A and B are shown apart, each in its own frame.
Chain A
């Protein structure tokens, strides 16, 4: 009886693992094989012929570019990193303000910031499209960065606020009686201690910018500012889908996200829960 219980338990775990991993594995395998093989019936999990054709095409080693994925990748990297750095910087300032000061309307401002983040991208995209067109920043990286900064700030504030609260106020006070200015105390004492939490917030901000579609699909128009999720749509023709190409660009999209998440995964969870429970 005990054995049956144990076996069924592991069977359940295995089933879950398969459910979670299989789609990703399929994408990965399909990125390295020719299109007809993907469509074969029954499904063929181990490619007969491995090929990096889609990648060489995408990154134009042969000089022929159907989808300028390299440009999209660069756009994605620039937009996501710049917007993350800015969002973390100003979000951290906000988180510090909420953790260390008492001021009038504090809870209301906090709630207001969170609710601003809840506005669905597609609803926001209609007015942003018109405003950005009028201001002439539509289809520019600058415009996209601006939007992502605003979208990432509230969540960053939430996370960093939780982390700054973890650090006893006295530590900064001691540093200041020893002759540090508040900024020096922040820089030398509080920032290093909150480091892991800020890292987690940064990864969240980066992933959101990296994966965002609804807004980017409206305010980016050409290869100038299109990011990878928008670039994926290039593999979609009116009636057919180039599955191999799409899987290849998906791999380009997932791998950096995967690496980043693995690096900070430990702090990711504690960051979320500290911010929430003890905030």
Chain B
């Protein structure tokens, strides 16, 4: 038995596929079914009340949903771009340091160990208008009126983005730093001898070499974008007046608070497709970038 098991890739993959099938695939099929019913948690018999596409039609008509959808896209676009940018900046910065680089790298990984829920509470406290660290700090400089970071509709979204960026920039920084450390010295020196300035070197040599690492980081990150739910849930709960409601918090509210599972599952499907599309896109980019690097 033990001898045969290592010979057959299917036998080796079977446990993984079974686990994923049971915890992810079957529930998804089930929720796909319930998205066509008027299932409410409070009325179990409604599980068999087939309503066709009505949940999806309601979704299309629901402006709140489309606002949340647009907000989620905007949120992801802003957050991922800034994380990439800051991550690249930090990686370039640390790459220049020769003394104490390993210690710095370790410190940089600090936010990665924080549970998203902890990140949420931490920044909820920092941004608290009354007792928060940030307003306290501004108070020191004579700015006495308390800024309502989490209550104002624009500031709240910005505050959440700051928390999200604080938590996830390090994964970009670390992976890009690993990429920078692996760049061969020769082409850079040759380019300098030929008279390239540092911007040209960066654009033509460093950046192309870094691209696979950028896509690794983006792929890994895209697996976890849904975790932003934890941070929003804690910091504002989707408020004020649903101004920070993302798809995920909206799903939780409609599914559990309003107990309207069918409708929430229809919404879930939209968010699942969104996440999968993100991951798929970055993954194919990664494969392409990898192939290019292999050919060089």
Cα A97 to Cα B137 in complex, Å, equals 55
Cα A210 to Cα B112 in complex, Å, equals 12
- Does B19 lie within 8 Å of A149, measured CB to CB? yes
A55 — which chain B residues lie within 8 A by C-beta?
none
Minimum CB distance partner of A233 in chain B: B117
- Does B280 lie within 8 Å of A257, measured CB to CB? no
Q: A232-B117, A276-B212 are in contact. Are A261 and B261 (CB under 8 A)?
A: no
Which of A21, A94, A119 contacts B13 (CB under 8 A)?
A94
Which of A21, A41, A42 contacts B110 (CB under 8 A)?
A21
Verify if B190 is at the interface (C-beta below 8 Å from A). no
Which of B104, B140, B280 contacts A115 (CB under 8 A)?
B280
- Does B276 lie within 8 Å of A115, measured CB to CB? yes
Verify if A65 is at the interface (C-beta below 8 Å from B). no
Verify if B69 is at the interface (C-beta below 8 Å from A). no
**Which segment, of B24-32, B150-158, B198-206, faces chain A?**
B24-32
**Which segment, of B54-62, B77-85, B216-224, faces chain A?**
B216-224
- Name the interface residues of B1-27: CB closer than 8 Å to any CB of A: 2-3, 5-7, 9-10, 12-13, 15-17, 19-20, 22-27
Q: A119-B24, A120-B229, A254-B113 are in contact. Are A130 and B19 (CB under 8 A)?
A: no
Chain B interface main SS type: helix
- Does A121 lie within 8 Å of B27, measured CB to CB? no
Verify if B114 is at the interface (C-beta below 8 Å from A). yes
- Does A211 lie within 8 Å of B115, measured CB to CB? yes
- Does A97 lie within 8 Å of B229, measured CB to CB? no
Distance to closest chain B CB from A89 (angstroms): 8
- Does A269 lie within 8 Å of B178, measured CB to CB? yes
Cα A125 to Cα B28 in complex, Å, equals 10
Distance to closest chain A CB from B54 (angstroms): 18
- Does B12 lie within 8 Å of A128, measured CB to CB? no
Verify if B191 is at the interface (C-beta below 8 Å from A). no
- Does A123 lie within 8 Å of B271, measured CB to CB? yes
- Binary A-proximity of B257-275 (CB < 8 A = 1, otherwise 0): 0000100110011011001
- Name the interface residues of A258-278: CB closer than 8 Å to any CB of B: 258, 261-262, 265, 268-270, 272-273, 276-277
Distance to closest chain A CB from B45 (angstroms): 14
Q: A117-B223, A124-B28, A270-B178 are in contact. Are A130 and B111 (CB under 8 A)?
A: no
Distance to closest chain B CB from A221 (angstroms): 13
Verify if B175 is at the interface (C-beta below 8 Å from A). yes
Minimum CB distance partner of B29 in chain A: A127
- A150-B24, A151-B23, A276-B290 given. 9 additional CB < 8 A pairs? A13-B94, A42-B140, A103-B9, A130-B261, A146-B23, A154-B20, A211-B118, A213-B116, A261-B112
Q: Which residues of A contact B (CB under 8 A)?
A: 9, 12-13, 16-17, 19-21, 23-24, 26-27, 38-39, 41-43, 90-91, 93-94, 96-98, 100-101, 103, 109, 111, 113-128, 130-131, 146-147, 149-151, 153-155, 157, 181-183, 186, 207, 210-214, 218, 228-229, 232, 243, 246, 250, 253-254, 257-258, 261-262, 265, 268-270, 272-273, 276-277, 279
- Please list the 9 inter-chain residue pairs (A to B) with the smallest Cβ-Cβ separation, ordered nearest first: A120-B226, A150-B23, A211-B115, A276-B216, A127-B27, A123-B268, A127-B31, A97-B12, A90-B15
Q: Which residues of B contact A (CB under 8 A)?
A: 2-3, 5-7, 9-10, 12-13, 15-17, 19-20, 22-28, 30-31, 34, 41, 90, 93-94, 96-97, 104-118, 121-123, 125-126, 131, 133, 136-137, 139-140, 166, 170, 174-175, 177-179, 182, 212-213, 215-216, 219-220, 222-223, 225-227, 229-230, 248, 251-252, 255-256, 261, 264-265, 268-269, 271-272, 275-276, 278-280, 283, 286, 290, 293
